[in-house]
DNA sequence: AATCCCGTTTACGTCAACGTCAAGCGGTGA
DNA sequence: TCACCGCTTGACGTTGACGTAAACGGGATT
């Protein structure tokens, strides 16, 4: 039975995907409205395949890096293949190249922001240590943070 | 005269800052509304100091890495210093730590997205080269792209 | 049969970050 | 003086990505 869950014929309900990826049903239906997902139906109800789930993963990651749903759809359509529109493809190619430039800039920005935040943290920490050491975070807080990170990574691993 | 422009007493009009950073007056006034900027006044008109300009740079970079104006304001208030609120600082410390985690995750996402886009570009390019080589971007296009990137970097250098 | 519970559609609401007018002020050049 | 320019303050509009509420359907359980 547990093995069944791993078989690629497996399907998912909307809620299963929502809880797995911390999304809402509203969001998934919205993505469907916008043409990013097209799950099958069992009567009225949506039935998500493994492929749908893979698309959802791409959607969510696209969002995290700041792509619009429209841009994400273009990428997904590329993977769909099968149609003729080569002009479309030429256009996509150009837009993707532009997006890569933007993302590389973003990566620089983020690295800068990370180091800046870290130095700000150090400043805060030493100042707090001097004047109000009682306000410094306790070991328990760190524990909770670590838990959160591990949870996050567990999901990532499953997603992959 | 040119040297005057470099002296830190220099001030800026709203439009000067806007053209320098490709923002709009509306945006700068909006940031002011939200408490991120507090330029001096000459009669009715806003007069931005070098400090204001520095804050604006931080605001824009914060935006590029996906911080909300609210979050940016917290960071800026930290640099203001001078007040007592150490609890505030303890809170900021916690939030900054969380934000660092988020940003590190974002960096991972972006790196993933970049490689994914690059492979997508390659697929597109080979497919176009096979079937419709006439649609491939010309050397002129690349030239224009390079110009754009160089312009961008020139601004970064000025901003720094 | 009644009650959950999960799912559905339709439609309106919300929030951030501005854009877009409209109307008016203050200086400057012709 | 007049026309123009750039700046100002409201105030309303917009866009993307959903949230929320209403009203309903259909199994499963009680």
For residue B40, what pLDDT band results from cuts at 50, 70 and 90? very high
| CA B107/CA A159 separation, integer angstroms | 17
Percent of chain B past pLDDT 70, that is, above it, reads 73
Using a CB-CB cut-off of 8 Å, the residues of chain B touching A119 are none
Percent of chain A past pLDDT 90, that is, above it, reads 33
Which candidate from B89, B113, B149 shows the least CB-CB separation from A61? B113
Protein-covered nucleotides on strand C (Cβ within 7 A): 6-10, 16-21, 25-27
Q: Looking at residue B44, what is its pLDDT?
A: 92
With beta carbons less than 8 A apart as the criterion, state whether B58 and B75 touch. yes
Would you say residue A22 has pLDDT above 80? yes
For residue A60, what pLDDT band results from cuts at 50, 70 and 90? very high
The reply to whether the CB atom of residue A27 sits less than 7 A from any atom in nucleic acid chain D is yes
- Of how many residues is chain B composed? 160
Concatenating the DSSP letter of every residue in A112-154 gives: HHHHHHHHHHHHHHHHHHHH-GGGSPPHHHHHHHHHHHHHHHH
For residue B18, what pLDDT band results from cuts at 50, 70 and 90? very high
Q: Does the CB of A109 have a partner CB in chain B at under 8 Å?
A: yes
Would you say residue A4 has pLDDT above 60? no
Q: Which residue of B has its CA nearest to A132?
A: B86
Q: Looking at residue B124, what is its pLDDT?
A: 82
Please report the domains of chain A, with CATH numbers, ordered by start residue. 1-82 (1.10.1660.10), 90-160 (no CATH)
Mean local confidence (pLDDT), B40-62: 94
The reply to whether the CB atom of residue A69 sits less than 7 A from any atom in nucleic acid chain D is yes
Q: Looking at residue B37, what is its pLDDT?
A: 96
Using a CB-CB cut-off of 8 Å, the residues of chain A touching B100 are 114, 117-118, 121
């Amino acid at each position: 039975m547990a093995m069944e869950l791993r078989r690629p014929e497996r399907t998912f309900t909307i809620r299963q995907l929502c809880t797995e990826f911390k999304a809402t049903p509203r969001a998934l239906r919205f993505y469907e409205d916008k043409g990013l997902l097209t799950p099958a139906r069992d009567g009225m109800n949506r039935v998500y395949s493994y492929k749908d789930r893979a698309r959802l993963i791409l959607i969510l990651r696209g969002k995290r890096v700041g792509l619009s749903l429209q841009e994400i759809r273009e990428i997904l359509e590329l993977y769909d293949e099968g149609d003729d529109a080569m002009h479309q493809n030429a256009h996509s190619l150009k837009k993707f190249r532009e997006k890569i430039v933007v993302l590389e800039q973003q990566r620089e920005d983020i690295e800068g922001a990370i180091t800046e935040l870290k130095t700000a943290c150090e400043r805060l920490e030493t100042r707090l240590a001097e004047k109000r050491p009682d306000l410094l975070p306790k070991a328990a807080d760190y524990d909770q943070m670590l838990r959160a990170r591990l949870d996050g990574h567990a999901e990532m691993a499953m997603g992959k």
